[in-house]
A and B are shown apart, each in its own frame.
Chain A
Amino acid sequence: MSLITRANIARTLLLGFFLLFTFVPLYWMFITSIKPSDDYLAVPPVWFPAEPTMLHYTAALFAYRGLDGLINSVIISAAATLLSTVLGTLMAYSLARFNTGGQHLSFWVLSQRFLPPIAIVLPIFLIYRAVGLHDTHFGLIIAYTVFTLPVTVWMMFAYFRQMPKSLEEAALVDGCTRWQSLWRVAIPLAMPGIVAAAVFAFIACWTEFFFALILTSQTAFTLPTVFRAFLGFQGAQYGEASALAMVSLVPSIILGILVQRHLVRGLTLGAVRG
């Protein structure tokens, strides 16, 4: 009995501590985003501002071009997600049902996921500059498509593998072409998996920094790269940085929690069912 209560206390302490650890930075950032600049350096620190302000939000969005970054992020993430989900699903179907290219093809796709980005992005940068894709929406969209393909392919590969193939075979015998059996039977049935894969691809694009940092500058820059403006010793734009962070993290957290059920599959590229 005492063992059980001890375990309970330990569990409560651990979870409580970790939740605190998780939420303190988020809370402080949120508070900073609505805290008047005068409160920044107050001692003791202002844990909740007496007069919350939205000034930092307007400044971040307009003066620091946060809105442009936001719009770019929406366009680029959505387009890359669409492309990656469509191409990834088609490829995954082929790999799952026909074992196309044997293990080599699927592992080749997987290996893309583990290439160090710096090794890829350097030559892409040089090529993009040469062909005029640097700092274009299209350039970042296709880069993100390739960067998320391993995830969508492997997630959908695992999804199709656990779907019975007799339904598609029944469609073939019933008079469908391969394409019809894919379009009218396999795709509708795989929809939950496709949506989950799409959401993970979107979050990956939405939060990506490194590619955007190198492949864009003044036109196609995405939300995470706007933070460059707040770094270093150019001034203390704590409020603006926090406001922009809040704008960026809310959509991806909501999306992430919506597909929580598929999280394990997403994190392990389909290796674990969850």
Chain B
Amino acid sequence: MAHVTIKGLHKHFGAVHVVKGIDLAIADGEFTVLVGPSGCGKSTLLRTVAGLEQASEGTIEIGGKVVNDTRPRDRDVAMVFQDYALYPHMTVAQNIGFGLRARNFPRPEIETRVKRAAKMLNIDQLLDRLPRQLSGGQRQRVAIGRAIVRNPQIFLFDEPLSNLDAQLRDEMRSEIKRLHQELGATMIYVTHDQIEAMTLADRIVLMNAGQIEQSGTPLELYEKPRTRFVAGFLGSPKINFIKARLENAGIVFADGQTLKLPAVDAQRYAAHAGKPVIFGIRPQHIDRAPMTGSPHIKSTVDLVQPTGARTYVTFTIGGEPVMAELDAHDAGKPGDEIAIALDLAHFLLIAPENGNVLGR
């Protein structure tokens, strides 16, 4: 177990600049999830930590030791690959024990450690099979077994669940989380799936275009995003962004409807009064309002998508589509006139020119 420190890391592939200056400190035993859209450099960052890619610039320390020039085998890391990377010509037991054999462990010890790891993952009855005789979920377990059997300083996961179907993915996600709790090891996990990131991470590092957009606990990123990108990346259904103007009276949408802000907020954003802003609010923070009384916005229901307990309802505010997550019995039907209450304890104002969230 060890902490990892990355300083000023850059990676070029020929003319392509993939990782553009990453500084990151990962504490011992922390579960860090690198998340971001494809091509954001998260996998490259992980592979550089593993030693499969050479850093173009900057340093990587594992356990306080700079490892830039250390071979993967000498870094004492284990990695679980997206395609599992099981050796097809070896049995499950040989696959799991391969790392120990490569390091010349005595045979009896390999055997006991392989058995222990297999038991932990519930694959002890599969040890004599070949990878092609296993299901996707079983292969995934073998790949994880191969990592834990070595008891490495750091575990690296490169989108390990993306080849599984939805149900297995949920199951393996819990498994990995439990594994982290049991082993207490440092884990770095790459995914493009925000749900995996939210559920697994002690800390999320959200990357975009080769740089860290924001890092923090899942709740921090969800509740206090620093940029429009972060707000838009996390949360499902996606947060709504509505073009508007900030006036002294409140938020004025394109169709002239005005949302009066509470005094404390009005004061907080006073410096931006008179400027165009983007009003961001999550579908969960929109509800139906009584047609009279409390402040509300008026619109017409466009589209209704039931999912069970909750129903996604789409309508427009100021000409822009907005989605709300409503109680199934509250949803109405297309064409209905509705009054909408926006929960003003949870909204964001974003500067359109740079995407930064205002007031932070």
Contacts and interface: CB of A to CB of B under 8 A. Distances in A.
A270 B315 CA distance: 56
Contact of A171 (B78, B83, B102, B156): B102
Contacts of B72: 169, 172-173
A175 B73 contact: yes
A169 B71 contact: no
B89 A188 contact: yes
Nearest to A172: B72
A193 to B, nearest CB: 14
Interface in A210-264: none
A172 B89 contact: no
A172 B87 contact: no
Given A188-B89, A189-B88, A173 B98 contact: no
A68 to B, nearest CB: 42
Interface in B277-307: none
A162 to B, nearest CB: 14
Main secondary structure, interface of B, reads loop
B198 interface: no
B85 A166 contact: yes
A170 B85 contact: yes
Interface residues of A, number: 17
Interface string B81-96: 1110111110000000
B115 interface: no
Contact of A170 (B71, B79, B89): B79
* Size bracket of the B interface: 20 to 34
B52 A167 contact: no
B118 interface: no
A173 B83 contact: no
B98 A171 contact: yes
B99 interface: yes
Interface string B185-215: 0000000000000000000000000000000
A170 B102 contact: no
Given A173-B50, A173-B77, A189-B89, A166 B71 contact: no
A173 B102 contact: no
Which interface residue of B52, B72, B79, B89 has the most chain A CB atoms within 10 A?
Answer: B72
Contact of A166 (B51, B81, B89): B81
A180 to B, nearest CB: 6
A185 B98 CA distance: 11
Contact of A185 (B51, B73, B87, B156): B87
Contacts of A177: 71, 73
Given A169-B52, A180-B102, A174 B150 contact: yes
Contacts of B71: 172, 177
B133 to A, nearest CB: 17
A173 B78 contact: yes
B85 A169 contact: yes
Given A172-B52, A173-B79, A167 B87 contact: yes
Contact of A164 (B78, B85, B98, B99): B85
B310 to A, nearest CB: 39
Nearest to B105: A175
Interface of B: 50-52, 71-73, 77-79, 81-83, 85-89, 98-99, 102-103, 146, 150, 156
27 contacts: A164-B83, A166-B82, A167-B85, A167-B86, A167-B87, A169-B72, A169-B79, A169-B81, A169-B85, A170-B81, A170-B85, A170-B87, A172-B71, A172-B72, A173-B51, A173-B73, A173-B156, A174-B78, A174-B99, A174-B146, A175-B73, A175-B99, A175-B102, A175-B103, A177-B71, A184-B102, A189-B87
